[in-house]
Amino acid sequence: MPDRGGGPTGPRIRVGRPSRRVRTLLMTLGVLAVLGMAFTMFAGFWTDWLWYRSVNYSSVFTTTLWTKIGLFFVFGLLMALAVGFNIWLAHRLRPPLSAMSMEQQSLDRYRMGIAPYKKWLLFAITALVGLIAGASASSQWRTWLMWVNGVPFHQKDPQFHLDVSFYAFDLPWYRFLLGFGFAAAILSLIAAALTHYLYGGLRITSPGARATAAATGHLSVLLGIFVALKAVAYWLDRYGLAVKSSDFKATDNWTGLRYVDANAYLPAKTILFCIAVICALLFFATLWRRTWQLPMIGFGLMVLSAILIGGLYPAIVQKFQVQPNEQAKEAPYVEKNLKATREAYGIDGTQVTEYSGKSNTTDKTKLRDDVDSTASVRIMDPNVVSPTFQQLQQIRNYYAFPTNLDVDRYTKDGKDQDTVIGLRELNLNGIPKNNWINDHFRYTHGYGAVAAKGTEADAEGRPVFTESDLPSTGDLGTYQQRIYYGEKTTTYSIVGGPQKEIDYSDDNGEKTTSYAGKSGVNLSNPVNRAAYAVAFGEPQILYSGAIGEGSRILYNRTPKERVEAVAPWLTIDGDAYPAVVDGKIQWIVDAYTTTNGYPYASRTTLGDTTADSLTATNNSRAVVAQQNQVNYIRNSVKATVDAYTGDVKLYQWDTEDPVLKTWMKAFPGTVKPRTAIPDSLMDHLRYPQDLFKVQRELLTRYHVKDAQTFLSGSEVWQVPDEPTNKSGDAVPPYYLSMKMPDQTAQAFSLTTTFTPNGRDNLSAFMAVDSEPGTPDYGKIRILKLPTNTTVNGPKQVQSQFNSEQDIAESIKLLKGGDSDVEYGNLLTVPLDGGLLYVEPVYVRGGGLKYPLLRKVLVTYGGNTAFEDTLDEALNKVFGAEGTTTTPPDESTTSPPTSSNPTVQEALNDAQKAFETGQEALKKGDWQAYGEAQKDLEDALKRAEDAQTKADKTSGGSGGGSSPSPSSTASSSPSGSPSSSPSSSPNSG
């Protein structure tokens, strides 16, 4: 063709193979991509290994890893061999000549297409099914370890008389094997059928026989294996009835045999087993008979039998035998369920005592005095006062306290004191500037514990701190205050290297430190740095100059996270709590062993039964469950996590628990014996909340032992809703040092109340002894109220508080301005046949960002008081006003007089400060009220100092007419939430 473009003609472009340079580049990129993916996988594995080694639990990592690898390869290989062998055998049994038909001519094209790749195709198919099967099997590592290490319960089920370990450890593994066998049989059958069809062994539209004799024999054997497995399934289903859940009007999640199960389903399963065995033999017989006629008749009979015997017959028994006389028929099986459920949840030793709910004592003074010996009434609610701790003890914005503080007990002067405690943890949201260095190198830890008396408040309604300030000082003594591991520490930190950390700040500026512990993983190794850079997606880790010799990376830093990682077979309680033990801050974590294979024990859902008004607002308090549906639970392990070093220790708590013994066999050396628990740590252990919540939920029905009462439902209770709000969430249990009627002294206890199903009056009070190391630890006591009288429940008591006119007017006054009223925990205390209710009332407002205790609500025997202090409220309720001086009315009060002019001036200032405080109180101006209270305290102190000086000058005569500060305080008008320092609430 002529050149029509008017210019030089360019070179021709050839379309063909890419150049060597391009091919080399593509190969290089491919190799790099593969290496990158391989290193990413290696990084995850390597960092996990390094972490487990750093906490000295490498055996957990290796045992788990090798178990998963072993299961993956064994079952992956078995599945690959089963499917691959049947494909090979079907190909081997193909007919030498295919029929001349359109169907076979179409298949010829496919046969010719795959002929060169047959081996590769076989390898690909077997590898794929092997990988899938291996991955599925590796997830069963817990099932395998429990089966191979299972120990006996030494308890037998009432139906088959087998040890409980068969249902808890053996039956789950047998069911997995059965499921794997079904999967292998079905996949092999499908693969063999497709291969026979592809090579002419099976025909759909071709003339003549639909299958060759070889194909018939092969597929019949596979069908026989499938039916034989079904026979095994029928046999195992017999035992499965003992752990089967079903709907039953007596209770949700009923588990175990009922009348229809024992008398219809159980014989039906036995009959179906026999039919399935015969049917399987008929399929195997086709190897000789070469016909499917008898096997298919047998298979049809089995299906029909399953419908009639396994479905229709039990329905007839239920309809015509059980329903006309259900209670009599079901009673023996309900008794088995009652016994097993109470044993499985550890509530079989519950002591239920009748309790009148009304006191017959007429001596009010004695009742008032009995309050002190019966309970240490806690007026500091750990779920309300966290903002107060935050405001008064945060010190720096980069510290924070948990939303819910904890209750513990500490000994002071030989006496136990209920204590509200929280740790000043790191809060990255409060640091001056967020960047990578600040977030991960400079701000690395919290500092110090803060504690307050649970039974007292100061004159301004603030907590009475027993450990406070920064660094913290007080009753807890000397201890390592740096908190590198805590509930709010959710990000990683790199410590111990060239970059200094901010320790804490005081009036002299910031103090710096460098982590001296051995926790975490060393980053001096470049391989480690590269692995963490990839695993955390932080390339700076690889090249940052802030990392050098001695740098260590800390992660997995919350106590629950660490315990769950080192013991992945445990269920973790939702509330880890701190304690100062032997000069260290230790997080204490309760952990449980569970199973859902306890015969006849009804199941419960942990996520539901452990939910309450606190978990609804704080997700971090939710239980960490390995198994959400369980029917056996034990608090078998007490764990500790050192807040500075991160060291995790697991202690055996329940020495009889067979589930824990099984896991201790599987992971030897990971759990220390109970005897290794130090006495100093034992003093701070307690009964765990989540176990208590599970048990109280079960006890709403299982407090009765009589089958007829259980079936009638007349004694069903419910856990009441939180009375202080309208959320509809269950009221949480409360820790309290108290004495039950049959106890001789107070014991640290966990308590709750019950109401009748659908009603608000009180039906029972429950407490569990939480004093570790004592014979009664874990003993559950229930005080059952009479059903023929009505005793107010928590919601009714709260409603009574809100509806009384005087209290309502006082509440309205407290809400004046922009103030908010917050109700604390409504505590219930059994007292001389009656029930004492105590509820602290807090006010937040007037410019204050935190709640202060202003009033205490008390009711007993129909008498209610709403006073400034617990003592005053108790005195009013019990009519024991004579035990304290009653302040005169404000309108008749005049300043006290003194012959000493200095004292008189101070007293006048005190009176003026008091009146200013009263005016601020009426306006709801809490900031002004707080300032006036401080002025009042200062004036009284000046008066006391001046009077003391005058007494010394005059030889101690006191001047004759000078009142003391205490008498001045007692003459102050009433109506103030805290009229003087001497009127602060005490322990009652």
Average pLDDT over residues 93-122: 72
Amino acid letter at 79? Answer: M
pLDDT of residue 649: 97
pLDDT recorded at residue 846: 66
Judge whether residue 462 has pLDDT over 60.
yes
Q: What is the mean pLDDT of residues 722-744?
A: 88
Report d(CA 345, CA 352) in Å as an integer: 16
Strand bridging mode 747-756 / 780-784: unpaired
Of all residues in the chain, the percent with pLDDT exceeding 70 is 88
Confidence of residue 69 (pLDDT cuts 50, 70, 90): very high
pLDDT at 986: 36
Question: Quick one: average pLDDT of 89-113?
Answer: 72
Hey, is 964 helix, strand or coil? Answer: coil
Model confidence band, residue 988 (pLDDT cutoffs 50, 70, 90): very low
Q: From CA 861, how far away is CA 839, in angstroms rounded?
A: 16
Whether the predicted pLDDT of 559 surpasses 50 = yes
pLDDT of residue 917: 75
User: Residue 871's Cα: distance from chain center in Å?
Assistant: 37
* Residue 746 neighbours by CB under 8 Å, 6+ apart: 373, 374, 375, 376, 737, 738, 739
Q: How far apart are CA 868 and CA 887, in angstroms?
A: 12
Checking if the pLDDT of 161 tops 60, the result is: yes
Give the pLDDT score at 712.
85
Report residue 912: phi and psi, to 5°. -65, -40
Residue with tokens 């000058």: 953
User: Omega before 471 cis (within 30°)?
Assistant: yes
3-state secondary structure of 578: strand
Taking the complete model, does pTM exceed 0.95, yes or no?
no
| pLDDT > 70? residue 103 | no
HSE, CB side, 13 Å, CA atoms: give it for residue 439.
9
Q: How many residues are present in the chain?
A: 988
pLDDT-based confidence at 898, cuts 50/70/90? low
Span 41-68, average pLDDT:
93
Q: How far is CA 378 from CA 338, 381, 450, 714, in A?
A: 36, 7, 17, 35
Average pLDDT, integer, range 824-849: 88
In 787-862, the DSSP E strands lie at 820-823, 827-831, 834-844, 852-860
* Chain center to CA of 243: 25
Is 884's pLDDT higher than 50? no
Of 277-291, 316-330, 533-547, 896-910, minimum mean pLDDT range: 896-910
Confidence of residue 950 (pLDDT cuts 50, 70, 90): low
Lowest mean pLDDT among 140-144, 647-651, 923-927, 978-982: 978-982
Question: CB count, 10 Å around CB of 828?
Answer: 26
pLDDT at 631: 92
DSSP SS3 for 982: helix
On average, the pLDDT of the chain sits at: 85
Average pLDDT over residues 792-817: 84
pLDDT, residue 581, reads 94
Tokens 């099986």 correspond to 333
Cβ count near 360 (within 10 Å): 8
Give residue 621's Cα distance to chain centre. Answer: 6
Give the pLDDT score at 132.
Answer: 94
pLDDT digits (tens, 9 = 90+) for 600-651: 999 999 988 988 888 878 778 888 887 888 999 999 999 999 999 999 999 9
pLDDT for residue 162: 96
Cβ neighbours, 10 Å, residue 623? 24
pLDDT at position 213 is: 84
Of the ranges 44-48, 116-120, 201-205, 661-665, which one carries the lowest mean pLDDT score? Answer: 201-205
SS3 418: strand
* Residue 531 pLDDT: 92
- pLDDT at position 770: 94
For residue 980, what are the CA distances in angstroms to 305, 380, 455, 929, 975?
86, 19, 18, 12, 11
**What percent of the chain clears pLDDT 90, i.e. is strictly above it?**
53
Structural contact between residues 428 and 443, judged by C-beta atoms closer than 8 angstroms: yes
For residue 491, pLDDT beyond 60: yes
8 Å CB contact between 858 and 872: no
What pLDDT shows up at residue 897? 60
